[in-house]
Amino acid sequence: MIVFRKLLSSTRLTIVGMALLAVGSSLIYGNPAEVPVWVLVAPLSVLAVNLVAAIATNPRINRRPGLLMFHIGLLAVVVLVGVGRLTHYEAHVEMVDGQQFTIDDAIDVKSGPFHSGNLDQVQFAQGPFTVDYQPMLVRGSTRSHIRVRNEKGEWQARVIGDDTPLVIDGYRFYTTFNKGFTPVLTWLPDAGAPVTGTVNMPSYPLFDFKQSNSWTPVGGREIKFWLQLDTGLRQDAAWTLDVRRTGSVLVVNDGDRRVELKPGDETVLDGGRLRYEQLRQWMGYKIFFDPTLRWLFLASILGVIGLASHYWRTFTAVHAATDKITALNSASSAALTNKG
């Protein structure tokens, strides 16, 4: 039993755990969907067991308050990181001005096997947004206007940005560089009810030269779109991305036929009519959820305080011992002088 305890608390096991953690971190870098989270959780579990055994059996740790506090904080960090990986949630979503969020809109979803949350209860609606740019397209402040439904069912206006996320039930919605324009289109088929929807164009201004997309109406053939924009964009001057200051022409390619539409215009196509209603914007958000973040911060503070306390006690003890030795040397020198 003693040998087993020594094995669990040994530095050799620590080295093995750290090596496994390094391998797991390299495998899970970028959070690929095909790599299970256990490649990170397993070595964290090994290190947690190693720390518990060291705290319980090593008197150099458990008999020194500061060092004990540091190792308890370190243990808490290791455990919380593992729990966070098992319960985390990450995704992206593209929200069009006027659209209300639903969980079905989330794409690129990656979550831990034990994740449970209330993302399906999150209710907010996207409004207009602006993004400031400095010369050479250096991105500045993002101001995304949204409306959030509170517990009373009332809609409240909010403004969020890259550094000011929307936080609801632990889920954080961060604005990203991924945003652009979307034409609002109405398809009026020869037979059937009209359908209104949007076609998101590629991110702007990242792909300002490639504002194209396509759509296939029910029972029809593919329609290709190219969006010509007048945003006032200049590489050598400050500029603000704002749909309210943007002019647009939607080029519709239906087979060999090419038609240019301004907002409010419509054209006759095979199987119906297509009307270009207006130009709106879409904003890309990153969704992030980790219930351990606050506890990780507290555990880190605990570890820092413990380590600082340990080194302070060590420093004061060494200083006191040095003063004592100096005093003894002075006393000895005085005694020898008097004796001489």
What is the CB neighbour count within 10 angstroms for residue 336?
9
Site of tokens 């009307």: 275
Looking at residue 2, its pLDDT comes to 67
Cβ 86 vs Cβ 114: under 8 Å: yes
CA-closest candidate to residue 186, choices 217, 214, 211: 217
- What is the distance in angstroms between the CA of the first residue and the CA of the last residue of the chain? 63
Cβ 190 vs Cβ 293: under 8 Å: no
- pLDDT tens string, the chain, 340 residues long: the values are 666 777 788 888 999 999 999 999 888 887 777 788 899 999 999 999 999 999 999 888 888 899 999 999 999 999 999 999 999 999 999 999 999 999 999 999 999 999 988 899 999 999 999 999 999 999 999 999 999 998 888 999 999 999 899 999 999 999 999 999 999 999 999 888 899 999 999 999 999 999 999 998 877 788 999 999 999 998 889 999 999 999 999 999 988 889 999 999 999 988 889 999 999 999 999 999 999 999 999 999 999 999 999 888 888 876 666 666 666 666 566 555 655 5
Domain boundaries, the chain: 2-88+291-332, 90-289
Q: How many whole angstroms separate alpha carbon 99 and alpha carbon 144?
A: 13
- What DSSP state is assigned to residue 100? B
Looking at residue 28, its pLDDT comes to 83
